[in-house]
Chains A and B, each alone.
Chain A
Amino acid sequence: MAVLTYREAIRAALSEELTHDENVVLLGEEVANFHGAYKVSEGLLEKFGPKRIVDTPISEAGFVGMGVGASMLGIRPVMELMFWSFYSVAFDQILNNAANVRYMSGGLINCPIVIRGPANGGTNVGATHSHTPENVLANHPGIKVVVPATARDAKGLLKSAIRDNDPVMFLENTILYGEKGEVPDTEELIPLGVADVKRTGTDLTIVTYGRSVLHSLVAADILEKEHDVSVEIVDLRTIRPLDFDTVLASVKKTHRVLIVEEQKPFASVGSQLAYMIQREAFDELDGPIHRLATIDAPAIYSPPVETEQLPNPQRILKAALAAVA
């Protein structure tokens, strides 16, 4: 296996899919000449040329909508949002057009678009640039939502997303771009909707996704060594479709649950999970379902305090101890 950064893994997935299908095109702000605001697309312009790697103006509603329209005619656009936070100005195109066009046409049209970019806090860029909209997106039937935590998952899931015939929202993380991980040398397509047990354990299930997976792994080691608590970590990887069977299997094993998400708590992914777990595994639970989310306020700028606003190993440790008490 090769060791790649999360950034390199996404770049490799893009490169492979651009090679695999001539209808795949990467469009977004600064993706070509600038090599990507976060250097994800570095080298792709040189490799694939300006027809396949296209700089757009700062015009999210326009270019996302254009991508949706092009996808209806068989193009497979991968649209990079410099930050997922900018989804708000393209919201009508995502929700009314990408999500609804298949339905409103009675199934006559499909929309194989991927919209990707980072969605995370923790970089001290304030409330406008720190949105994590996976819950908002997943609230709309017709679209799929992927939030990979590792390099391997990012690559395998992005490849599947690009080949998917439905619109896929792919949420990356600026802090993870530099994280290294093993990625298979041979082509790997990881299906959407398959969770991954990132750590096995017997006393507590942590259900999580995205960067919170890494924090949870750190917390789990401390829990094991210092508190004799064995933690199982279920990384959802995909929010919609949702691999709830893997969650259920883990809950039936540990009987205690903590949901960790970098997400505002009101009507979050965790809210949905908590409902489903109590509904389908009520008798398996030895205690209430616990949840750790972003502290409920707009993202604060102040660097040391933002760390405390988000899930982090210490907050997870505390929440886990409460969940097993």
Chain B
Amino acid sequence: MSKKASPTIEKKDDIATSACGASSQAPVNANLAKPEKIELYRKMVRIRRFEERSLRAYLAKKIGGFLHLYIGQEAVAVGCCSLMGKDDHVITAYRDHGHAMAVGMDTKALMAELYGKITGCSKGKGGSMHYFAPSLNYWGGHGIVGGQIPLGTGLAYALKYKGLKGAAMAFMGDGAVNQGAVHEAYNLAALWNLPVIFVVENNGYSMGTSQERSSAGPGLAQRAEAYGMNWATCFGHDIYEVRATMDKFLKLAREESKPAVVEIDTYRYRGHSVADPDQTYRTRDEIEEYRRTKDPIQVFQQKLIEEGVLTDAIIEQIDTEAKAEADLAADFAEASPYPTPDDIQKDVYWESDNPDQRASKGRLFFD
């Protein structure tokens, strides 16, 4: 049997098709007030400017390790997270800056984390790949490809167990879909009807290996059929389409506890990480073509101009403020102190951080 045989199974749900087309007219978008639309736009611009600023800091060697930039994918995180209610939760992989800002994390703490400073969101202990904000229902920021997907399933399990009408969105890249843990999570979610949306942000490349060189079968989201789950694909450069698609699946998750896989086609302009070669597996023309025709910020900006929501003056102001915010974050990070060696063994055990409530005895640390 050919691995590339045409799909023989029709989409079992009309959600995907109904979401396409006039997504701006979908109620979830049509009901947006002008300031809400501007906020969506502003968030995408803020993410872009924050990451561009972090790239400069990285090139100036202010930031260690890896820096996986989200530039080009902003409409996905902003679109999805803009739909969150108080009992909805998010977890993602290591390309996590966009989601962190989309849920509302403070850019000073995010930049300081990149700089490895004690004022960082994880006190300089996590770095770029490991942002967390449980108070914002944001559970990371995870470094191992696909390893966060069982955790996201567990968030959904907890919601259902507690009888809360929320949903978990578990984000992964297209490279994660071949990990066993992802399929185990799919099976559990479908078996137990857990309110989780598995969001595959398909930027075309798992590191430097294209989808056609890494993933068998007709499509990534379609694998959901094997588990009897709903699925859909949508374009990720159009925030209206992202919102329209995700809104339907989130409602199904919250109200009927139905899991789903949503594959969102998107693109990243930078390498897998900043330090990686970017021209060995794709051409500069390919990147430029996407940027020219499908840049999510430009696409939304154009729509909002046509809708009479944005003006040149507002666009200019938002951009200026976003740049200033990023600079301020970098200044804050620069001026902040590093953790000290005394901090290394803090935040390891709950008990050692709460000695007055410790029930166990004995040595927790060794030398």
Contacts and interface: CB of A to CB of B under 8 A. Distances in A.
Interface in B107-143: 120-126, 130, 132-135, 139-143
Q: Which of A66, A101, A107, A244 counts the most B-chain CB atoms under 10 A from its CB?
A: A66
A64 B185 CA distance: 10
B157 interface: yes
Interface in A9-47: 23, 25
Given A62-B187, A142-B348, A241-B361, A108 B153 contact: no
Nearest to B139: A72
A108 B144 contact: no
Contacts of B132: 101, 104-106, 108-109
A163 B187 CA distance: 30
Interface in A226-251: 238, 240-245
Contact of B157 (A69, A101, A105, A142): A69
A67 B154 CA distance: 6
Contact of B188 (A57, A74, A163): A57
A105 B353 contact: no
Interface residues on B, range: 35 or more
A125 interface: no
Given A103-B125, A104-B125, A109-B139, A73 B362 contact: no
Contacts of A57: 187-188, 191
Mostly, the B contact residues are mixed
Contacts, number: 200
A62 B363 CA distance: 32
Contact of B362 (A51, A102, A241): A241
B177 to A, nearest CB: 15
Nearest to B151: A69
B337 interface: no
B207 interface: no
B150 A103 contact: no
A97 B142 contact: yes
Contacts of B133: 108
Nearest to B133: A108
B150 A62 contact: yes
B176 to A, nearest CB: 13
Contact of A102 (B161, B350, B361): B350
A26 to B, nearest CB: 13
Contacts of B348: 102-103, 141-142
Interface in B335-367: 345-351, 353-354, 359-366
Contacts of B135: 108
Nearest to A141: B348
A67 B161 CA distance: 12
Nearest to A71: B154
Given A104-B126, A106-B123, A164-B351, A62 B158 contact: no
Interface string B151-166: 1111101110110000
Nearest to B154: A69
B147 interface: yes
Interface string B34-75: 000000000000000000000000000000000000000000
Given A66-B157, A240-B364, A103 B347 contact: yes
B180 interface: yes
A272 interface: yes
A30 to B, nearest CB: 15
B360 A242 contact: no
Contact of A93 (B120, B125, B147, B365): B147
Contacts of A243: 361-363
Contact of A192 (B151, B162, B181, B360): B360
Given A51-B161, A160-B359, A238-B362, A61 B349 contact: no
Contacts of B134: 72, 105, 108-109
A88 interface: no
Closest 10 CB pairs of A and B: A69-B154, A65-B150, A62-B184, A193-B362, A69-B151, A107-B347, A241-B362, A73-B158, A106-B123, A105-B132
10 contacts: A56-B188, A61-B184, A66-B151, A66-B157, A72-B139, A96-B143, A97-B142, A101-B140, A105-B347, A192-B362
